[in-house]
């Protein structure tokens, strides 16, 4: 069951990786245009800084999920590795569950705040500010799912070892 869920996530990973590439590329283009228009043409753009900022926010949460999937988030494993067998696995699972709860809290609070966000627009682009905050929901929800899956996989590995 967990393997099937992870296979689905692998397919979704491709989309997230492309989103990272596009947001980073978009940020680079916006910042380059801002520099050219401000310092070369002496006529700064009103929208480029805002677009770059919003793309950075998207890249943060989308890239956070990509980093989580690759196991590249920072963690302190000294205690976990120092504990014998099952205690280390329980601590690893607990750490993953706490991380999942953290991302769930982000998703919950952004959704709870959504009606107020829906009334706001961005200053320069005048787009709904929810276009920015949806990245927090998407990235955090997928990170929450991934860390729950990791917490469960710790015990699946233990069960497979004892059955063999």
Q: Could you read off the pLDDT of 116-146 as tens digits, one per residue?
A: 999 999 999 999 999 999 999 999 999 999 9
Count of the separate structural domains present in the chain:
1
Mean pLDDT, to the nearest integer, of 18-27? 97
pLDDT at 99: 95
Q: Could you read off the pLDDT of 28-68 as tens digits, one per residue?
A: 999 999 999 999 999 999 999 999 999 999 999 999 999 99
For 50-78, b/e burial (b = at least 16 CB within 10 A) is: bbbebbbebbebbbbbbebbeeeeeeeee
Which of the residue ranges 15-19, 64-68, 133-137, 156-160 would you say has the lowest mean pLDDT? Answer: 156-160
Look at residue 3 and give its three-state secondary structure.
helix
Which of the residue ranges 9-23, 92-106, 121-135, 146-160 would you say has the lowest mean pLDDT? Answer: 146-160
Contact 106, 140 (CB under 8 A): yes
Range of the domain at 71: 2-163
Please give the model's pTM, rounded to 2 decimal places: 0.86
The model's confidence at residue 72, banded by pLDDT at 50, 70 and 90, is confident
Q: 114 to each of 64, 120, 158, how far by Cα in Å?
A: 22, 10, 41
pLDDT at 101: 98
Of 20, 28, 24, 19, the residue nearest 48 (C-alpha): 28
The model's confidence at residue 162, banded by pLDDT at 50, 70 and 90, is very low
């Amino acid at each position: 069951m967990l393997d099937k869920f992870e296979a689905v996530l692998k397919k979704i990973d491709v989309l997230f990786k492309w989103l990272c590439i596009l947001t980073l590329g978009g940020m680079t283009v916006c910042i380059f245009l801002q520099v050219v228009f401000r310092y070369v043409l002496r006529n700064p753009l009103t929208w480029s800084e805002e677009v770059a900022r919003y793309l950075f926010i998207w890249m943060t949460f989308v890239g956070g999920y990509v980093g989580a999937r690759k196991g590249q988030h920072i963690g302190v494993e000294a205690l976990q590795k120092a504990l014998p067998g099952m205690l280390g696995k329980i601590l690893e699972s607990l750490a993953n569950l706490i991380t999942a709860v953290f991302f769930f809290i982000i998703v919950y609070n952004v959704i709870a705040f959504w009606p107020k966000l829906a009334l706001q627009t961005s200053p320069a682009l005048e787009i709904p500010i929810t276009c920015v905050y949806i990245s927090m929901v998407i990235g955090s929800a997928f990170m929450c799912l991934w860390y729950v899956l990791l917490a469960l996989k710790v015990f699946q590995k233990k069960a497979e070892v004892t059955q063999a």
